[in-house]
Amino acid sequence: MALDLKPAKGDRPFQAQGPGFAIALLLFIVAGGTFGYYWIEHWDFWQAFYVTVLAISTLEAPRVSTLSGQVVTVFLVVGGVGAALYLFTLLATVVVEGGLPKRLQRRRHARMIEHLHDHFIVCGYGRIGSIVANQLQRQGVPYVVIERDGVRLQAAIDDGALAVEADASREDVLKRVGIDRARGLIAAVGTDAENVYAVLSARVMRPDLFIVSRAETEDATIKLKRAGADRVISPYQLGGMQIAQTALRPAVVDFVALATSADNLELALEEITIDAASTLANRSIIDANLRGKYGVIVVGIQRQNGKMEFNPESETVIGASDKLVVLGKPDALRQLEGEASARNA
């Protein structure tokens, strides 16, 4: 699903070899034939226009009384029929090659973006961005991809993503993809410089937006954090740590992978935010009876100030805006998430 925010080459409204030129040429011939019959045969404008259309369509040969009228008729039959066939050929080509459906699709997807809420904006659809989008899609999280490269854009479309061909660092582009309604932004563009610009633009527009970015170097990590990224991930560092942990503690790595997999239907590790108006706010873990009611295990609590408490005691109080890291069955986690929300309090 693609939405072009800039005109593609060959997509101008008027050019020498496009439908615009063919339409203009056909209108010029019709006007010439109409005025020609009007002046030469002394017909009224409607009759002159009517006879001109008949001549171009070759449905009926006009009955003219002068040599000049016959010349006009020949001009209409030769030039008009040629222009009409040229126009119809171009229109058929547009339809066959998908030009018309793509334009209609762009309009439809523009309306879809206007109705997106709590979605993620994925900037870039390279090796990292495509994996991120795939995970979001598997977990049913709405998202939109911003990609400048046409080949990668088509890959996103083929994967079922709602994609936009544009520069992720432009504020007007971020506004069009609904940054004011977005849940977060993931900067995974090809270079660190582009990610810095994308993060900076997003932070200026949404100071409260959660932003995650990739970084190639340590220097880029520092710059991205200064630009406003909440989390900066280095694929190489993370990959190296994963390899080392797999070699040293394969069972632990397998367990974490199983708990965080979107395909796992038996066990899931989830982060749940406690709303201030929730019935769980300001209650202890044992008083909330999370284990007995939902069968979940509280692995940790991230406080509002960012501090993480691992394996909290049963008497630990759950504060408003705290984030619970819990382990349990997906259905039970969804029920717990409902109670943690103010809408279900």
Q: Do 154 and 87 fall within a single domain?
A: no
Mean pLDDT, all residues of the chain: 82
Q: Do 285 and 209 fall within a single domain?
A: no
Residue 62's domain comprises: 19-96
Tell whether 13 is covered by a domain: no
What does the pLDDT read at residue 226? Answer: 93
pTM of the model as a whole: 0.63
Q: Which of 34, 63, 96 is the last residue of a domain?
A: 96
Q: Do 58 and 151 fall within a single domain?
A: no
Residue 199 confidence (pLDDT) above 90: yes
**H/E element holding 212?**
strand 210-214
pLDDT tens digits, 126-152: 999 999 999 899 888 999 999 999 889
Please write down the HEC assignment for all residues of the chain.
CEEECCCCCCCCCCCCCCHHHHHHHHHHHHHHHHHHHHHHCCCCHHHHHHHHHHHHHCCCCCCCCCHHHHHHHHHHHHHHHHHHHHHHHHHHHHHHCCHHHHHHHHHHHHHHHHCCCCCEEEECCCHHHHHHHHHHHHCCCCEEEEECCHHHHHHHHHCCCCEEECCCCCHHHHHHCCHHHCCEEEECCCCHHHHHHHHHHHHHHCCCCEEEEECCCHHHHHHHHHHCCCEEECHHHHHHHHHHHHHHCHHHHHHHHHHHCCCCCCCEEEEEECCCCCCCCCEEHHHHCHHHHHCCEEEEEECCCCCEEECCCCCCEECCCCEEEEEECHHHHHHHHHHHCHHHC
Which token pair is 187? 């900067």
Which CATH number characterizes residue 222's domain? Answer: 3.40.50.720
Tell whether 3 is covered by a domain: no
Tell whether 9 is covered by a domain: no
Which CATH number characterizes residue 30's domain? Answer: 1.10.287.70
Number of independent structural domains in the chain: 3
Q: Which of 180, 204, 238 is the last residue of a domain?
A: 238
Q: Do 63 and 121 fall within a single domain?
A: no
Q: Do 154 and 191 fall within a single domain?
A: yes
β-partners of residue 231 are: 212
Q: Do 189 and 79 fall within a single domain?
A: no
Tell whether 105 is covered by a domain: no
Which CATH number characterizes residue 270's domain? Answer: 3.30.70.1450
In terms of Cβ atoms closer than 10 Å to its own Cβ (0-12, 13-18, 19+), residue 7 is exposed
Q: Do 180 and 292 fall within a single domain?
A: no
Q: Do 261 and 225 fall within a single domain?
A: no
N-to-C CA span, the chain: 37
**Residue 190 CB neighbours (<10 A):** 17
Q: Which amino acid does the sequence have at 48?
A: A
Give the mean pLDDT of 192-208. Answer: 94
**Residue 275 CB neighbours (<10 A):** 17
Per-residue pLDDT band for 122 (boundaries 50, 70, 90) equals very high
Q: Do 152 and 221 fall within a single domain?
A: yes
Q: Do 123 and 229 fall within a single domain?
A: yes
Q: Do 268 and 335 fall within a single domain?
A: yes
Tell whether 91 is covered by a domain: yes
Tell whether 10 is covered by a domain: no
pLDDT tens digits, 2-27: 554 444 444 444 344 566 777 787 78
User: Among 238, 195, 239, 242, which Cα is nearest to 219's?
Assistant: 195
Tell whether 146 is covered by a domain: yes
Percent of residues, the chain, with pLDDT higher than 90: 33
Q: Do 287 and 312 fall within a single domain?
A: yes
- What's 188's DSSP letter? -
Tell whether 4 is covered by a domain: no
pLDDT tens digits, 65-117: 677 777 777 777 777 777 777 777 777 766 665 556 666 666 776 777 788 89
